[in-house]
Amino acid sequence: MAMNLRLSKPEQALLDRLARQSGLSKNDVLRQALVEKAAREGHRAEVERSLDWALDRYGDVVRRLGEA
């Protein structure tokens, strides 16, 4: 899918620098950034679900330890 992306001059300079440093095309730099962002967000959601589970299961213990 083709699309247009409007970048400010500083953003364009940053993209140019990242592409040059990595030896990738600008397209590839942006694709890689998209995939990495999605992976981080997915990981964050998984951590939050795990924390919710742990607090449901062990919340009383954690509170008692905090009061000790």
3-class SS string, the chain: CCCCCCCCHHHHHHHHHHHHHHCCCHHHHHHHHHHHHHHHHHHHHHHHHHHHHHHHHHHHHHHHHHHC
pLDDT in tens, 40-59: 988 888 888 998 899 889 88
Q: Which position has the higher pLDDT, 28 or 67? A: 28
- Tell me how far apart the alpha carbons of residues 18 and 24 are, in angstroms, rounded to a whole number: 8
pLDDT band for 66, please (50, 70, 90 cuts): confident
pLDDT in tens, 17-47: 999 999 999 999 999 999 999 999 888 888 8
Query: Is the full-model pTM beyond 0.95?
Result: no
